[in-house]
Amino acid sequence: MSTKTPTSLHVVLFPFMAKGHMIPLFQLARILLHRNVAVTLFTTPANHPFVTASLSGTQTTVIPIPFPDNIPGVPSGVESVDKLSSMSLFFPFASSTKSMQPYFEKIVQTLIPAVTFMVTDGFFDWTLESANKFSIPRLVYYGMSNFSITVTAVVAQNANLFNGKSENDKVVVPEFPWMKVTRNELDDVSSGRDVNSQFAEWMHDMILATRKSYGLVTNSFFELEPEYSNYWNMKYGPKSWSIGPFCADQTLTKTESLFSQKSSWMIWLDKKLELGSSVLYVAFGSQAEISLDQIQEIKLALEKSEVNFLWVMRKGVKESTLGFGDGFEERVKEKGIVVREWVNQREILEHEIVKGFLSHCGWNSTLESICAAVPILAWPLSAEQPLNAKFVTEEIKIGLRVETCDGSVKGFVKWEELEKKVKELMEGVIGKEMRKKVKEISDAAVKAVEHGGSSWRSLNELIEELQAKSIVA
C-alpha cells in the first residue's frame, strides 16, 4: 500500500481544442494550484503558445502531443475549432482526436508525481480507457450547466415525447411540468432526429463513457440551479461536482489579459465611461456562422437603436463576406466600434460601463455575464445554447429573448425586432429590473466560491475524496 501526502496530489487536465473549452480549464488549473494540487495540462502543438501565454506565471506543466494532420477537409496545422473553415468539419475534427491516445498514455504513465485524477473533455471519450488502464479516476468536463445536461437527459429518456409533433411544437418536459421545449431547442441525437449516423454513434459512445467515469466537474454553483443539480445527482450520474463559476473565484487575477498594454477597445470603453454612456456588448462566440443577410439586419438594428455598442466579430472571417464596405462603421463611429481580434471577454463585461450583452448564450458567456452582473439579450445559435437561453430568460429571469420571424429557435431575426429588444434591455424598465436581479445572482456566485461557500465546499469534498482514494490505491 502506498501513501501520499496532500501536496502530492496531481491532476491532468485535457481540454478540447476550442477556446470555449480551453479557457475554463485554464481557470480551473489556477484554482487547483491554489489548493496545492500539481497540474499538468495536455494540448496540441499549434495550441501550445496560446495555452502557455494563458497560464503564464503559474506552475502548470503544459505538454503538447501530436494532432492528426490528415483529416479530410482540415488543412494541416489547424488544431482548433475556431480555425475551421466551416462547422461542418466539426465531427471529423472531433472524432479524429482518438489518434492522440497512444501519445497521451505514453506520457501519463511517466508523470511524477503519479497522476491522482484527470479532468478531460467530454468529447474525449477515449480518455476513460486510458484512465482505467492506469487506475486513475476520470472526471468529465462538458462546459455545460446542470440545467442543460439534466433537461437533455430527461428528454432523451422519453423517446416518444415528440411523436406527432413538428420541429417547433412545444411539449411539457416530464419531471419539470412548468417547462416546455421544442425539438429545435435540443440536439439532433437527444431529440430523436438522428439515431443511426456516425455522429449519433460518437455521441452515444461519449455519453456511455461519461456514465462510467468517476464524476462531472461542472462550472456552476448549487444556488444557481438547485433543482437540476439535485435531480441529476439523484436520477442519473455520475455525480456532478458544481465548483464554479470559475470566473467568480478570487484566486484568479481579476482580468487575466494576454496583452501587456491596454487594448484600443478598452480605451474606447473608458472614454464612454467618462461620458456616462452605457454600452451594449455584442458577441456570438468564436464558432458562430451567421449569414450575410442576418449580419445586415444586425447592423441596421444597432444603427437604428442609437445605443452605444462594442461588437466583436468572429476572428478570421473575410471582410468581403460581411458586407462592411457600405460605410456602416463610419456612420456609427460616434456610437459603436467593431473589433475583429480575439478579446478578453471577461475583461469587457467587467467594465462598469457595459450594461447589456447580446449573446449566443454559450455557457461560458452566460456565466461571465452573471459574474459581471450584466443582463443578457439571448440569441442562441447552436449546440445547447437554446437551453441556456431558456434558463436565462425563463428560469432565472436575467435576460430577454430575441424572437425570430417564424417563431423557431434558429430562424431569421429582422432588424425591427432586434432594435426593439436592444432598447428594452438598455433603456427600458425591464432592463433596469434585470440588472438588479443579475446583481443578486452575481453576489451569490461570489459567495459560492468564497471560503465556506457551496462551490468551495464541493471542491474540498472532491479533493479529499480523491486524496483518500489515492492513498488506498
Round to whole Å and give the CA distance between 295 and 317.
Answer: 12
CA dihedral 295, 431, 406, 190 (to 10 degrees): 90
Distance CA 69, CA 78 (A): 8
pTM over 0.85: yes
Residue type at 468 in one-letter notation? A
Residues in contact with 428: Cβ distance below 8 Å, sequence separation at least 6, in sequence order: none
Spatial neighbors of 87 by CB under 8 A, at least 6 apart, are 81, 287, 289, 382
Residue 357: partners with Cβ closer than 8 Å, 6 or more residues away: 280, 281, 282, 283, 349, 365, 369, 374, 375, 376, 377
Distance CA 328, CA 311 (A): 12
Q: Which region, left, alpha or beta, applies to residue 36 given φ > 0 means left and ψ of -120 to 50 means alpha?
A: left
Instruction: Tell me the C-alpha distance between 310 and 349, whole Å.
Output: 11
- DSSP letter, residue 445: H
pLDDT of residue 4: 39
Please tell me the distance from the alpha carbon of residue 301 to that of residue 295, in angstroms, as a whole number. Answer: 10
Spatial separation of the C-alpha atoms in residues 133 and 127, rounded to whole Å: 10
Residue 473 has a pLDDT of 58
Give per-residue burial for 45-70: e unless 16+ CB within 10 Å, then b: ebbeebbeebbeebebebbbbebbee
Domain borders along the chain are 6-250+450-472, 264-446
Q: Buried b vs exposed e over 239-265: b needs ≥16 C-beta within 10 Å?
A: ebbbbbbbbbbeebeeebeeeeeebeb
Give the SS3 label for residue 35.
coil
Q: Count other Cβ atoms within 10 Å, centred on residue 172.
A: 12
What grid cell was written down for 189? 441525437
Side-chain-facing half-sphere of 74: CA atoms under 13 Å: 24
CA 68/CA 70 separation, integer angstroms: 6
Taking only the tens of pLDDT, the chain with its 473 residues reads: 333 344 479 999 999 999 889 999 999 999 999 999 999 999 999 999 999 999 999 999 999 999 998 888 888 889 999 888 888 899 999 999 999 999 999 999 999 999 999 999 999 999 999 999 999 999 999 999 999 999 999 998 887 888 888 888 899 998 899 999 988 888 877 777 877 889 889 999 999 999 999 999 999 999 999 999 999 999 998 999 999 999 887 665 544 444 457 888 999 899 999 998 899 999 998 777 788 899 999 999 999 999 999 999 865 444 444 556 678 888 888 899 999 888 889 999 999 999 999 999 999 999 999 999 999 999 998 888 999 999 999 999 999 999 988 877 888 989 999 999 999 999 999 999 999 999 999 999 999 999 999 999 999 999 999 988 877 65
CATH topology match: 6-250+450-472 vs 264-446: yes
If residue 27 lies in a helix (H) or strand (E), which one and from where to where? helix 19-34
What CATH number matches the domain at 264-446, 3.40.50.1950, 3.40.50.2000, 3.20.20.140, 3.40.605.10? 3.40.50.2000
- Which homologous superfamily does the CATH classification assign to the domain defined by 6-250+450-472? Glycogen Phosphorylase B; (3.40.50.2000)
User: Inter-axis angle of helices 429-449 and 363-371, to 10 degrees?
Assistant: 90
Per the listing, cell 456612420 goes with: 331
pLDDT in the model for residue 447:
96
Provide the pLDDT for residue 33: 94
C-alpha span between 40 and 35 (Å, rounded): 14
Q: Is the dihedral of CA 345, 347, 349, 354 positive or negative?
A: negative
Question: 227 pairs with which residues across the strands?
Answer: none
Number of H helices, E strands in the chain: 17, 15
Using an 8 Å Cβ cutoff, are 412 and 290 in contact?
no
Amino acid present at 114: A
Say if residues 63 and 14 touch (Cβ distance below 8 Å): no
Instruction: Name the DSSP class of 248.
Output: G
